[in-house]
A and B are shown apart, each in its own frame.
Chain A
């Protein structure tokens, strides 16, 4: 099967990012939630400097509505109108493609008008109306595997998107439930989801989440992020997703899992090197075709 690539970026105001095949590893990252305009800009500046230094293609991620929070008291987001306005400003000021998710079909069109990549939250990954709405934006879709889903059944969600006329999908693993309040990463998920032909992504910061483990919020074990990132990049991914913050303790969303910006350069350097080494090995020794059913 010829692997597909997706191109993120719909106009010339941003640097386009091609994801998949033998392309360089792409980074999707930013603060989990858009907290305010100044913070969004500060994070774009800080992350942009790291990505430029590492020389890694980057898509800015931040969401305007956090519909999956554990508590009614948690920060829910700035709302679509204000959030998308800030994303538009970030996009044009820094020349970088942007991504946000949406959890209501009524928000799909507006999200697609601003965002270069539209994201489907993992909990909604098999909701037909959401998938169809995402497909109809015409933008590439970042589809996260639900924590409750098998990797092979993600094909059904992909087929729903394709049935709506969209053939640009990036499939992400963000961990799989291992009992209650606990996620694990099954690295077989990457080659299995890649059988769809679409590129795959590792969401490192959500993978270390301990969902709603702290009563009314989610905990996390971000000390494992570097290990999981190296493992995923060596296994075979096309993009790496991480939420990044300059003040994790005071982050308004996912404070227990977001990566402190001070570690970003190191993690991205490891990920990029592991990705490049993998491509070199494949070039030298051939594809991973051990005992494939004939």
Chain B
């Protein structure tokens, strides 16, 4: 890994808000899944009215939900997404280095990191693939 590339800042390569699934805590699970499918990402960021990150919902959350919460699909689809979300997700700031962010993803076993500012407002998403491409200088 090139040191200079790995020192690049997260903020340089994040996916902006219009390229990721962003929903509200009361968005229905069904609508959240549709939004995630539209952006072809396994994560939805959940933000409150002020744009602050309230949690994330991922493909992993969905797997765990299906095994744990055995109510009918029609009832699951009508749930508020926050009910099934990870409420205190791992996040990173825009000034963190890519090396730090990738190490964090490896440590947590995740592919995406929400990027937030000092107040917790969502700025975008660091996805593993663009992060690796940036490190490799591709």
* B83→A150 contact, CB < 8 A: no
Instruction: Tell me how many residues of A have a C-beta within 8 Å of chain B.
Output: 9
B119 CB-CB contact with A under 8 Å: no
Among B7-15, B44-52, B68-76, B128-136, the stretch in contact with A: B68-76
The chain B residue with its CB closest to the CB of A196 is B80
Give the distance to chain A from B135, nearest Cβ to Cβ, in Å: 36
The reply to whether A153 and B84 form a contact with Cβ atoms under 8 Å apart is: no
* B84 smallest CB distance to A (angstroms): 7
Q: Are B84 and A150 in contact (CB under 8 A)?
A: no
Chain A, range 76-132, C-beta contacts under 8 Å to B: none
Contact yes or no, B78 A293, CB < 8 A = no
Contact call A155/B78, Cβ cutoff below 8 A: yes
Interface size class of B (residues with CB under 8 A): 10 to 19
* Most chain A C-beta atoms within 10 Å of own C-beta, residue among B26, B74, B78: B78
Residue pair A150, B65 in contact (C-beta under 8 Å) = no
Q: How far is the CB of A125 from chain B (nearest CB, A)?
A: 15
A178, CB-defined interface residue at 8 Å:
no
Asked if A152 contacts B65 (CB within 8 A), the reply is no
Q: Measured between C-beta atoms, what is the minimum distance from B68 to chain A in Å?
A: 5
Whether the pair A152, B74 counts as a contact (CB closer than 8 A) is: yes
Min CB gap B62→A, angstroms: 13
Contact between B74 and A150, CB atoms less than 8 A apart: yes
Q: Which of B65-120 contact A (CB under 8 A)?
A: 65, 68-69, 74-75, 78-79, 83-84
B residues at A contact (CB < 8 Å): 26, 65, 68-69, 74-75, 78-79, 83-84
A-B CB contact pairs (8 Å), 19 listed? A150-B74, A150-B75, A150-B78, A152-B74, A152-B75, A152-B78, A152-B79, A153-B74, A153-B78, A155-B78, A156-B78, A159-B26, A192-B75, A293-B65, A293-B68, A293-B69, A293-B83, A293-B84, A294-B68
Q: 9 nearest interchain CB pairs?
A: A152-B78, A152-B75, A293-B69, A293-B68, A153-B78, A155-B78, A150-B74, A150-B75, A152-B74
